[in-house]
Amino acid sequence: MFRKASAILLAAATPLLIAAQAPAASAPQPLKLSAVAAVVDCQALAKADISAAVGAPTHITAAAVVEAKPASYCKVEGYVEPAVKFIVQLPVANWTQRLVQTGCGGLCGNLRVHVDHDDGCPVAQNGELAITSTNMGHEGNGPLGEGDFGNDYQLRVDFAYRGVHMTTLAAKALIAKYYGQAPKFAYFMGCSDGGREALMEAQRYPEDFNGITAGAPAMNFITQNTFYHGWNALTNLDASGKPILLANRLPILHKAIVEQCDALDGLKDGLISDPFGCHPNPSAAVCKAGQDPATCLTEAEAHVAAELFKGAHDAQGGKLVLSGPQPGSELAWEGVYIPKSATDTRIMSPGVATGVLKFLAYDPNPTTYQLSQLKFDRATFDATTKLHNIYDSTDPNLKPYSDLGGKLILWHGLADPHISPLNTVAYYTAMRTLMGADAADKFARLYLFPGGYHCGGGEGPFNMDLLTPIMAWVERGSAPGALVASHIPPSPRPTAPAPLPNGVPPAAAGATAAARASIPPEASFAPVVTAKPDRTRPIYPYPYTARYTGTGSSDDAANFVQGPANPVPAAMLNWFGSGFYSAGYEKWCSGTGATYTCKNSR
């Protein structure tokens, strides 16, 4: 059993060995599977008893056919006790034997079934997939998304890992009832907390899914939602509690940082493709004598930016999080930890940090906790992360998953303001070091998208199809090489933008006004997008980079080839939580009210 994760992270990792290549003109495709018809009426599922298959009391509350395009489906709703609600959508006539389960964002508490990052994937666009998702065991996030469901310890466990697994079992049982057979292949796709859920499945329930895509995973759930967001919220307050850096100043900061670091990858294209090699200097944007203050930063504003880049740390510089936001992400700070105005309270970080500290991080709950009480020191770190073994999904030993033939695609936007991509790099590095590079290369890939924000959007190419490559890898053994991503320019924001919760992809921006009004207010805004890409770029498996050939448009993926490996320096991956990347730390728990019991194995 590996416990010395600091050594794991500092060990040199052999780069992934793939042949130098230009992006493929036609990517490998999944198997062509025959469609399977239903063997019972949809309405019959309302009376289905699947409790034995799920292993817990399960109740079906509704089952009815929904007429829809591109294909009608049988919509089944139900819950696993105590309160793990789920929806399963079963194609009526053209199911091609695949299940896709989607993750939930933020602290969840809502039920949304939608496949994202499937651009151009025929089986998804034709409505051939059985799809499912869950609310993860609770309704709503509490006031301001606080997570007050954490007062019930079983609901904590259901949110941490049980709810997703129970939903998987329920969906597979309903598929068997409806079609008379199990799915041939099962996939999980999630981003943000959905990425945490994805890794939790690979780590705790390796038998559930054949293929998993985990985007921007909030795997370090506790530190991410306490020290990361807490630091970012408090750092921007002056002595009187007023915000220092406002959103209208972010373009000034962003311009300065891009000028400093854009060319590190050998191409000046307005994107920072090597943020890990960038050493941002916000003070370069400080006003000089006689300069128009509308074009530069104050010393105080530059100091805030510098501290955000550093990330939460103690008085000696010890890192309480792996890193702050990466250079290039500055424009995305608005609404997360930088307000639009001095009186604007619609930022996410204070509410998330306070809620998790009050209701989820500790046992018992300090329900009167104020964010100002959070101390940034090692003692507080140790006290706050005691429940790491329940919420976090950082176990790098995926041998059981790999042995079952599972495949994993990790992905992250390099300009993500919510979760630093260094977290995902650290996990991938630990996995390759613990399991061995050759063993990891057989089932896992990591893709990093320059200029990509949180789960979608951004200045860089961040629209892509992840479903086709994971299916082709699972079903044909065709390991993915370069993924071609596109950037779609945003349309102007609507007058009253609809907020999206942390981890809900920008595709939700197209929801109806009523649906969008039901989404909690503590989140970033996603623009409505047009349909035509203005930039494409190949994204090679980490640690390889894309190199511009020097001819043709740098906005065309065809003019790039695989560049050299550029792994993150090992020293950057060392922090107080380095030991979290170890095998076998998980606890398995069940709760009743304000108490719960845990054991070391299932």
| Residue 147 binned pLDDT confidence (cut-offs 50, 70, 90) | confident
Cα 347 from Cα 283, distance rounded (Å): 25
| Residue 354 binned pLDDT confidence (cut-offs 50, 70, 90) | very high
Mean pLDDT of 17-35: 71
- pLDDT reported for residue 112: 87
Nearest to 473 by CA among 408, 538, 541: 408
Answer whether residue 19 shows pLDDT above 60: no
| 409: enclosing H helix or E strand | strand 407-413
* Contact (Cβ atoms closer than 8 angstroms) between residue 463 and residue 488: yes
The contacts of residue 585 (CB under 8 Å, 6+ apart) are 388, 389, 394, 395
- pLDDT reported for residue 16: 64
| 74: enclosing H helix or E strand | strand 73-80
The contacts of residue 551 (CB under 8 Å, 6+ apart) are 559
Cα 93 from Cα 167, distance rounded (Å): 23
Q: Which two tokens stand for residue 256?
A: 């300065």
C-alpha angle 563-198-204 in degrees, rounded to nearest 5: 120
pLDDT digits (tens, 9 = 90+) for 264-282: 999 999 999 999 999 999 9
Helix axes 299-310, 250-261, angle to 10 degrees: 60
Nearest to 86 by CA among 173, 180, 163: 163
- E-only strand ranges, 246-333: none
* Contact (Cβ atoms closer than 8 angstroms) between residue 502 and residue 352: yes
What single letter denotes the amino acid at residue 507? A
Answer whether residue 25 shows pLDDT above 70: no
* Contact (Cβ atoms closer than 8 angstroms) between residue 312 and residue 323: no
pTM higher than 0.75: yes
pLDDT digits (tens, 9 = 90+) for 187-218: 999 999 999 999 999 999 999 999 999 999 99
- Count other C-beta atoms under 10 Å from residue 207's C-beta: 12
Cα 60 from Cα 45, distance rounded (Å): 8
What single letter denotes the amino acid at residue 538? P
* Contact (Cβ atoms closer than 8 angstroms) between residue 601 and residue 395: no
Average pLDDT over the chain, rounded to an integer: 90
CA distances from 203 to 43, 400, 407, 456, 467 (A): 36, 8, 12, 25, 21
What is the percent of the chain where pLDDT is above 70?
A: 88
CA distances from 577 to 190, 284, 582 (A): 24, 32, 10
- pLDDT reported for residue 229: 98
- pLDDT reported for residue 133: 98
| 261: enclosing H helix or E strand | helix 250-261
Answer whether residue 140 shows pLDDT above 90: no
Radius of gyration of the chain (CA): 23
* Contact (Cβ atoms closer than 8 angstroms) between residue 160 and residue 361: no
* Contact (Cβ atoms closer than 8 angstroms) between residue 440 and residue 432: yes
* Contact (Cβ atoms closer than 8 angstroms) between residue 162 and residue 108: no
pLDDT digits (tens, 9 = 90+) for 401-448: 999 999 999 999 999 999 999 999 999 999 999 999 999 999 999 999
Q: Which two tokens stand for residue 339?
A: 């307000």
Mean pLDDT of 229-255: 97
- pLDDT reported for residue 572: 96
What single letter denotes the amino acid at residue 353? A
CA distances from 508 to 112, 239, 574 (A): 10, 38, 36
- pLDDT reported for residue 502: 40
The contacts of residue 553 (CB under 8 Å, 6+ apart) are 559
pLDDT digits (tens, 9 = 90+) for 381-397: 999 999 999 999 999 99
Range 561-567 contact pairs with CB under 8 angstroms and sequence separation of 24 or more: 561/20, 561/21, 561/22, 562/18, 562/20, 562/21, 562/22, 562/482, 562/538, 563/265, 563/266, 565/15, 565/16, 566/274, 566/277, 567/13, 567/15, 567/429, 567/542, 567/543
What single letter denotes the amino acid at residue 167? T
**Three-class SS of residue 522?**
coil
**What are residue 90's DSSP bridge partners?**
74
Q: Where along the chain do its domains lie?
A: 5-220+392-523+532-599, 224-384
Give the largest Cα separation in the chain, rounded.
Answer: 78
| Residue 469 binned pLDDT confidence (cut-offs 50, 70, 90) | very high
Mean pLDDT of 149-153: 94
Mean pLDDT of 63-83: 96
* Contact (Cβ atoms closer than 8 angstroms) between residue 337 and residue 236: yes
Mean pLDDT of 37-49: 97
Looking only at the bridges linking them, the beta strands covering 130-134 and 98-102 are parallel
Answer whether residue 486 shows pLDDT above 60: yes
Mean pLDDT of 119-125: 93
Cα 427 from Cα 220, distance rounded (Å): 10
- Choice among 112-116, 502-506, 546-550 with the minimum mean pLDDT: 502-506
- pLDDT reported for residue 8: 36
306 — phi, psi (to 5°)?
-60, -40
- pLDDT reported for residue 141: 67
pLDDT digits (tens, 9 = 90+) for 93-118: 999 999 999 999 999 999 989 899 99
Q: For the domain covering 5-220+392-523+532-599, report its CATH number.
A: 3.40.50.1820
Nearest to 463 by CA among 471, 455, 472: 455
- pLDDT reported for residue 512: 32
